[in-house]
């Protein structure tokens, strides 16, 4: 099978309906097909990985569902530095280890991938 | 050039489905190939057989049906996104003991694996929505 490098660029906050869950399904399927998969969290998507979420019983802790990424060997997660700063967050506030990337370097990062998957 | 397309928003929530449709028509007119259009998230609302907008509005599922028929385009609707939103194809409905047949002509039900297959085969993958 062909191999491509996928960068999933996530921008939405948690609890955008089923959007985060359905994006995660796409990411996991892509990884299950042995493609190279990385994530880039931009804007309010940085909240998707925020620790200490306390959702009501009928909503999911979105950070916890990203735990499944490790099972599929998806360990490359980039976070835009300015998106964190604008929201008063540090990389340490996130549930998984991430690589912080400055806004000015995002375009060069994207050029390393074959498919940019907006989400 | 070979394109794969994904549509993520419903006809009445955003214009991105319409933009995708216009893109598809323009690309085909210029001799490009569209290997698959994948309907995901609220994009599955494009595939409802019984959407009944007023006469002076665009009937989206009919537009897609015609496009698929005229150009043999594979219109694929994600099964899990569809079932979350109450869109049951005839065979899945039977399996659930129901009589629905909600999928418009020209669409078929599939999964994310077929989306991935299309992104690998395409020269360009475009997401609308």
Catalytic residues of B: 78
Does residue A4 belong to the interface with chain B, where contact is any CB pair within 8 Å?
yes
User: With a cut of 0.85, is the ipTM above it?
Assistant: yes
CA pair distance A93, B95, nearest whole angstrom: 45
With the CA atoms of A57, A63, A67 and A70 taken in that order, what torsion angle do they form, in degrees rounded to the nearest 10? 170
The distance from CA B110 to its chain's CA centroid, rounded to whole angstroms, is 11
pLDDT at site A76: 97
On the question of pLDDT at A56 being above 90, the answer is: no
Please write the tens of the pLDDT for every residue from A3-42: 999 999 999 999 888 899 999 999 999 999 999 999 999 9
pLDDT at site A37: 97
> A33–B116: do the CB atoms touch at under 8 Å?
yes
Instruction: Report domain extents, chain B.
Output: 2-128
- Total domains, chain A: 1
Q: What is the CATH number of the domain that holds A89?
A: 3.40.1260.10
CA pair distance B53, B63, nearest whole angstrom: 13
Q: Which CATH fold topology does B2-128 show?
A: Hypothetical Protein Ychn; Chain: A, (3.40.1260)
Contacts of A115 in chain B (CB under 8 A): 119, 125
Instruction: Give the contacts of B70 (CB within 8 A, at least 6 positions apart).
Output: none
> A22–B40: do the CB atoms touch at under 8 Å?
yes
Structural domain containing residue A47: 5-118
Nearest to B84 among A2, A18, A33 (CB): A18
Which stretches within B72-111 are classed as H helix? 79-84, 90-95
Nearest to A117 among B41, B80, B127 (CB): B127
CB contacts < 8 Å between A and B, how many? 35
């Amino acid at each position: 099978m062909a191999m491509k490098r996928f960068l999933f660029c996530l921008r939405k906050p948690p609890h955008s309906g089923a959007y985060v869950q359905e994006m995660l399904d796409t990411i996991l399927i892509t990884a299950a097909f042995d493609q190279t998969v990385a994530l880039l969290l931009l804007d309010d998507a940085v909240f998707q990985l925020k620790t200490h979420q306390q959702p009501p019983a009928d909503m999911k802790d979105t950070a916890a569902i990203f735990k499944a990424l490790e099972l599929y060997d998806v360990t490359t997660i980039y976070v835009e530095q300015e998106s964190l700063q604008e929201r008063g967050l540090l990389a340490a506030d996130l549930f998984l280890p991430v690589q912080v990337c400055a806004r000015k370097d995002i375009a060069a990062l994207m050029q390393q991938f074959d498919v940019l998957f907006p989400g | 050039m070979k394109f794969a397309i994904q549509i993520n928003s419903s006809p009445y929530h955003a214009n991105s489905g319409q933009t995708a449709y216009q893109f598809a028509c323009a690309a085909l007119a210029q001799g490009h190939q569209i290997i698959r259009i994948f309907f995901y998230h609220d994009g599955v609302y494009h595939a409802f057989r019984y959407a009944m907008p007023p006469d002076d509005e665009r009937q989206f599922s009919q537009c897609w049906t015609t496009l698929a028929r005229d150009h043999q385009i594979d219109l694929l609707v994600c099964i899990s996104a569809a079932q979350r939103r109450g869109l049951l194809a005839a065979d899945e409905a039977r399996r659930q003991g129901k009589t629905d047949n909600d999928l418009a002509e020209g669409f078929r039900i599939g999964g994310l694996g077929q989306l991935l297959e299309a992104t690998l085969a395409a020269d360009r993958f475009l997401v609308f929505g």
